[in-house]
Amino acid sequence: MNTEQARFNMVEQQIRTWDVLDQDVLDLLYVVRREDFVPPAWKALAFSDLEIPLGENAGTVDALKSKDGGNDSERMWPPKMEARIVQSLALKKSDRVLEVGTGCGYLTALLAHRSQQVFSVEINARLKAAAEDSIKSFAAVDNVTLEVGDAAQGWSKHGPYDVIVLTASTPVLPQAFLEQLKPGGRLFAIVGDAPVMEARLVTCVATGSYTSVDLFETCFPPLRNALQPKRFSF
């Protein structure tokens, strides 16, 4: 496989056509090598328009077909989604970012290149360790703090934040995340229940005041221990 040709095709045929037109974002996809973050078994599919499983069984064909990615639900966003979200967040070099769910660390690296500091929290210690190794291979990325923990319903430790990104879905967006945003801060989350969820961008326009816009419909596995809505029962 011609890796650079595959990367070019990914950018031009998948990402640019999905309304990602910020040239700085497109250029970044050539700097951070996506293939260095995917599980070894899937390097040949690193530039494909699909969700790559990150679970312990991620090296099997069944994991690629399975909705839960093997024995857990961790999955890598498709390339066009990663780029679209980085563009939508309008990151600045002064931004302090919270990422909930490190996964493979690829989005972490993209965020770090465009912000001041990224605090990324991963509940799965195995994934955190693997992501740490991948991120260390990029000498330019020295503004990332990786931690093991459960941030599904907020992570105030380093807050408040200019940007918050939830990398898996949540049936209900916890109020804690909104309260941890600075005025002018932006939050991305996939909100709702299967089969249809909304990719939502929330902006804190002033303390306690927020606006939101739904960017597109999608469906993605939930964060472990995500906040659940109150269910009616007889």
Residue 223 lies in a domain: no
- Give the distance between the most distant pair of CA atoms in the chain: 59
Which stretches of the chain are DSSP H helices? 3-9, 23-31, 61-65, 79-89, 106-113, 125-136, 175-179
Residue range(s) defining the domain that contains residue 163: 5-218
Spell 140-156 as b/e; 16+ CB within 10 A means b: ebebbebeeeebbbbbe
Residue 229 lies in a domain: no
pTM to 2 decimal places: 0.92
Residue 18 lies in a domain: yes
Residue 226 lies in a domain: no
Residue 227 lies in a domain: no
List pLDDT tens digits, range 161-179: 999 999 999 999 999 999 9
List pLDDT tens digits, range 126-139: 999 999 999 988 76
Residue 233 lies in a domain: no
Question: What CATH number did the domain enclosing 185 receive?
Answer: 3.40.50.150
Query: Between the CA of residue 98 and those of 144, 180, 198, what are the distances in Å?
Result: 10, 10, 20
